[in-house]
């Protein structure tokens, strides 16, 4: 490994401090130091092994980063949605694969439980996912990608339980998760009104984790299929009302898109930080390449687009926290940041020259990681459709 691989990205190229309170600034700085000191040295090896270091996962729990919004009475940090978004951004500056682990735990699964779980379910599961249990969100199937509600997985009532049958695909965190939010239909003829969410533990009979996908990017993050074969789940483990799974999915995915936007923002900012450092160090024709105007203009354009992306992400998060409408802004933030991440990571590779094309240097990985931003938790086309719909209905 070269020194460039583990070189710090502690200095953000663009960060409007006026957007952060004193407490938020302290949290950001703490997470940034942790990411640089503990995650950065493992990033390359985890990407090669396609697995997040289990010891690192435990540190994330110990830091309180896996239950950011969970109240302290359940063992969580009792913090805010904005803090969760900021944590995802900071971790993703170093490793977007770890960033999505934290993202799914906080913006999808914990939020779903906080909003829809019964008190008994909260008492049972929130302390687990705040302190040591990874949670996964199982919605996607072979026939239901962008059409998320074309579910084939069924849930048939059998006494005081439901028998779940089906197959879920592309499920993030599935390799490590101990708890899954599984969406299935109790009445396929009712369409989306039959979709119901179930809390399924990994040791439930009839439930198994199948093939792990061999991915282009975020390779350390596990993405697996789930197999349900007469998986018996107690009616007590229904999350929210029967037939309201579609509403749970819509609400959580709207918030989750801000999390993915934060992941892509962090990725872009990390790529720019690497590019800034490298162009200052690299010499050609007797001077650093950062002194060439073409390079300077490229860096300036990267920084400007990252700044715009950050404002969009933070705005969407603040709107959500204020209880105001944020769906359009969340879609815009995810659309824009995924474009920016792919562009900035690509330009960073070019600025590194031949070194940017090899795995010994960090920008190659960030370039691979960036592509998923336009695909998961709603493709870019779906974000455009959402934005257009809300504009035209205003």
pLDDT tens across 14-72, in order?
444 457 888 999 999 999 999 999 999 999 999 999 999 999 999 999 999 999 999 99
Has residue 1 got a pLDDT over 70?
A: no
Has residue 146 got a pLDDT over 60?
A: yes
- 150 pLDDT band, cuts 50/70/90, is confident
Question: Which pLDDT does position 11 carry in this prediction?
Answer: 52
Give which of 130, 364, 319, 139 is closest to 246, Cα–Cα: 139
**Residues labelled catalytic:** 377
Cα 239 from Cα 41, distance rounded (Å): 39
Neighbour-count burial for 195-216, b at 16+ CB within 10 Å, e otherwise = bbbbbbebebeebebeeebebe
Per-residue model confidence as pLDDT tens digits over 352-387: 999 999 999 999 999 999 999 999 999 999 999 999
Sequence spans of domains, the chain: 3-133, 136-244, 246-393
Architecture of the domain whose range is 136-244: Beta Barrel (2.40)
Question: Which pLDDT does position 19 carry in this prediction?
Answer: 74
Cα 276 from Cα 108, distance rounded (Å): 34
Query: pTM above the 0.85 mark?
Result: yes
The answer to whether 21 and 336 have CB atoms below 8 angstroms apart is no
- 12 pLDDT band, cuts 50/70/90, is low
Alpha helices (H) in the chain, listed in sequence order: 3-6, 22-34, 40-49, 54-62, 81-94, 96-103, 111-116, 119-131, 245-281, 293-321, 327-352, 363-370, 380-393
Has residue 8 got a pLDDT over 60?
A: no
CATH 1.20.140.10 fits 246-393, yes or no: yes
CATH 1.10.540.10 fits 3-133, yes or no: yes
Has residue 343 got a pLDDT over 50?
A: yes
Rg (CA), the chain: 21
Has residue 13 got a pLDDT over 80?
A: no
Has residue 194 got a pLDDT over 60?
A: yes
- 114 pLDDT band, cuts 50/70/90, is very high
The answer to whether 332 and 387 have CB atoms below 8 angstroms apart is yes
What average pLDDT does the structure give for the chain? 95
Q: Which two tokens stand for residue 229?
A: 């074969």
The answer to whether 135 and 66 have CB atoms below 8 angstroms apart is no
Give which of 207, 177, 203 is closest to 108, Cα–Cα: 177
Question: Which pLDDT does position 148 carry in this prediction?
Answer: 75
Neighbour-count burial for 111-123, b at 16+ CB within 10 Å, e otherwise = bbbeebbeeebbe
Cα 337 from Cα 313, distance rounded (Å): 8
Per-residue model confidence as pLDDT tens digits over 255-299: 999 999 999 999 999 999 999 999 999 999 999 999 999 999 999
Count of Cβ atoms closer than 10 Å to residue 298 Cβ: 18
């Amino acid at each position: 490994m070269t020194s460039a691989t583990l070189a710090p990205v502690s200095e953000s190229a663009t960060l409007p401090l006026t957007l952060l309170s004193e407490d938020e600034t302290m949290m950001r700085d703490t997470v940034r130091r942790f990411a640089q000191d503990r995650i950065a040295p493992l990033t390359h090896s985890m990407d090669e092994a396609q697995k997040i270091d289990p010891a690192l996962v435990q540190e994330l729990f110990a830091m309180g980063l896996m239950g950011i919004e969970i109240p302290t009475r359940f063992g969580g940090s009792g913090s805010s949605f904005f803090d969760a978004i900021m944590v995802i951004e900071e971790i993703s500056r170093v490793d977007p694969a770890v960033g999505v682990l934290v993202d799914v735990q906080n913006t999808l699964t914990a939020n779903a439980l906080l909003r829809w779980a019964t008190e008994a379910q909260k008492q049972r599961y929130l302390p687990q996912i705040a302190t040591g249990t990874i949670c996964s969100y199982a919605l996607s199937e072979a026939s239901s990608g962008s059409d998320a509600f074309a579910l084939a997985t069924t849930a048939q009532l059998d006494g005081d339980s439901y028998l779940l049958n089906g197959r879920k695909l592309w499920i993030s965190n599935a390799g490590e998760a101990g708890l899954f939010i599984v969406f299935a239909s109790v009445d396929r003829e009712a369409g989306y009104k039959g979709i119901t969410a179930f809390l399924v533990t990994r040791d439930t009979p009839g439930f198994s984790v199948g093939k792990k996908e061999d991915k282009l990017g975020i390779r350390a993050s596990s993405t697996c299929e789930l197999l349900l074969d007469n998986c018996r789940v107690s009616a007590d483990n229904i999350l929210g009302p029967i037939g309201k799974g579609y509403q749970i999915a819509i609400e959580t995915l709207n918030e989750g898109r801000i999390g993915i936007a934060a992941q892509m923002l962090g990725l872009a900012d990390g790529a720019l930080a690497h590019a800034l450092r490298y162009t200052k160090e690299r010499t050609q024709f007797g001077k650093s390449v950062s002194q060439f105007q073409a390079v300077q203009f490229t860096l300036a354009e990267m920084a400007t687009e990252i700044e715009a992306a950050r404002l969009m992400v933070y705005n969407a998060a603040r709107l959500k926290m204020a209880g105001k409408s944020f769906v359009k802004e969340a879609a815009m933030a995810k659309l824009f940041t995924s474009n920016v991440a792919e562009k900035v990571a690509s330009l960073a590779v070019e600025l590194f020259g031949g070194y940017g094309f090899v795995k010994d240097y960090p920008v190659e990985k960030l370039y691979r990681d960036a592509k998923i931003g336009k695909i998961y938790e709603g493709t870019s086309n779906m974000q455009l459709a959402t934005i257009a719909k809300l504009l035209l209905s205003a």
